[in-house]
Amino acid sequence: MTTGPREITTPFRPIPLDVPEGMKPNEFFNSTENLNDLVNNNGLLQNPENLLLYRKALGHSNVFDTSIIYNTSKIILDPLGRPVRRTQVPQAVLNVWNRMNQILIDYMQETFPDPAQHLLLCGEASLDATWPMTSPGVPSIRMLHNHFIAFDMQQLRVAKLADQNNPNLTDGGQHSLFQSYMHEVYRAFFSTLDLQILKPMNGDASQLSLTGYPQGLPCWEISGGLETIHEVRFWQEYDTILKGFIDFYRTFFSQVSSRNSPLPKDIYYPQQAIEKLLFNNDFLSTAKIVRDHCIRDAKYANSIRWQPAFKQLIYRNDEGKWIVTISQNSIGNAITELLGVVVKRAPDAAAYEQAEPALIEKLLTVRERLIKADLGEAIATDYWPG
């Protein structure tokens, strides 16, 4: 069987929302008005910490697909003031967030135990305003959310090969700025972080045999197996990976912005940044390449994401091992595309309704586990009871 990224089509029920005149659909679906639809039509559970579990109306998969969003839309009205990554979430909320993640991952493993049958992943994306602010569709929600997705491996096996030149598929591979010029610097910096549970993986060991992805990304195996996610230490190390990435990204683009600039304020690992980054010729010469390009190419400069843009992922590989990876998100790829899965969504109510009963049954089952663990209260919609 040919190894390569796969493209699948996922049907959905058209969302019953009228886009106001003068707004583009993507602008509206990134608005706080859309959050009313998330709660009233797709909401499953919410808690006093403002964490909302909901069905994905525009899903990646109809096997299992749900998200948790940190819904701060009514308590922080300034979109630029909302937490958009785990490191900005209050500790009390983060504790609840981690416990919800743990229960959902456990449920996915229990429900889909065979890696030959299902690809499992969960992860989160930065929703910083890293796009040019003058571009249409810049997210106005700006709220952290997680994905929990199961794909049918047989569907992926028979799916057509995706276009290898799709820019979203090259974000973490050979075309990536980090991988093209700073591959060794990146890994050397991460090697200085205090990780005991997360063990670095090299080469093909982290890749899915069907797709050949992830490509070029640093990956860490969760040593001790999935039971380890029940330990506080695991989630601390998961955050350490993110903090290290943010330090690397901010330090690099501060050098792009201003030659020989000081370390960014409030950096997490200043000594490592000084020793492994600011005294590294490959790191600084790459910053010069990007800086010079920005000066002579206005379009390129306008496309730069000056603030950290990332997708962080936990997934299960062919051998049933659970792995953590993180991607510098320079283009805007979907979280599934880190694993070589390209999803095309198609409005098809009839096809969606065939899969809907089994999907909702699973969502309500995991909702009960969250309720039992005192992680929220049920939401009633037209599609399920409270």
pLDDT at 265: 93
Mean pLDDT of the chain: 89
Q: Which residues pair with 70 in a beta bridge?
A: 51
Residue 42: which of 20, 63, 59 has the closest Cα?
59
Question: Tokens 């306008």 appear where?
Answer: 302
DSSP string over 222-237: ETT-GGGGGSHHHHHH
Nearest to 53, CA basis, from 354, 311, 365, 343: 365
CA distance 130 to 118: 33
Determine the average pLDDT of the residues in 346-367. 96
Q: How many CB atoms lie within 10 A of CB 236?
A: 14
For residue range 91-150, list pLDDT tens digits in order.
Answer: 999 999 999 999 999 999 999 999 999 999 999 887 665 555 555 555 566 788 899 999
Q: How far apart are CA 146 and CA 340, in angstroms?
A: 19
Percent of the chain past pLDDT 70, that is, above it, reads 90
Domain map (residue ranges) of the chain: 6-378
Overall average pLDDT of the 24-32 stretch: 65
What pLDDT score was predicted for residue 176? 67
pLDDT (tens digit per residue) in 151-168: 999 999 999 999 988 777
What per-residue confidence (pLDDT) applies to 346? 93
Which has the higher per-residue pLDDT, 78 or 312?
312
Nearest-angstrom CA–CA distance, 19 and 112: 37
pLDDT at 4: 93
Q: Which residues contact 270 (CB under 8 A, 6 or more apart)?
A: 263
Task: Quickly tell me which residue has 């796009």 as its tokens.
Answer: 131
Pairwise CA distance, residues 379 & 353, whole Å: 21
Read off the pLDDT of residues 187-226 as tens digits, 9 standing for 90 and up.
Answer: 899 999 999 999 999 778 899 999 999 988 889 999 999 9
SS3 of residue 257 by DSSP:
helix
Find the mean pLDDT for residues 349-364: 96
122-126, 139-143, 288-292, 371-375: which range is least confident on average? Answer: 139-143
pLDDT grade for 169, boundaries at 50, 70 and 90: confident
- The pLDDT-based confidence of 330 (bands split at 50, 70, 90) is low
- What pLDDT is attached to residue 36? 80
Q: Evaluate whether 8 touches 158 at the Cβ level (below 8 Å).
A: no
Collapsing DSSP to helix, strand or coil, 247 comes out as helix
Closest CA to 197 of 164, 238, 166, 158: 238
Q: How confident is the model at residue 37 (pLDDT cuts 50, 70, 90)?
A: confident
The reported pLDDT for the residue numbered 99 is 98
| 16: number of Cβ within 10 Å | 8
Q: Are 198 and 221 in contact (CB under 8 A)?
A: yes
Question: Omega before 115 cis (within 30°)?
Answer: no
Could you report the per-residue pLDDT of 251-276, keeping only the tens digit for each?
999 999 999 999 999 999 999 999 99
Instruction: Please enumerate in sequence order all residues whose Cβ is within 8 A of that of 95, keeping only pairs 6 or more positions apart, or say none.
Output: none
20: tokens are 């106001």
Q: What would the pLDDT profile of 51-94 be if each residue is shown by its tens digit?
A: 999 999 889 999 999 999 999 888 888 777 888 889 999 999 99
Q: What is the pLDDT of residue 140?
A: 60
Backbone angles phi, psi at 138, to 5 degrees: -60, 125
Q: Report the percentage of the chain scoring pLDDT > 90.
A: 66
Q: What is the pLDDT of residue 204?
A: 82
Model confidence at 174, pLDDT cuts 50, 70, 90, reads: very low
Angle formed by the axes of helices 232-257 and 91-111, nearest 10°: 110
**Upper half-sphere CA count for residue 163 (Cβ side, 13 Å):** 6
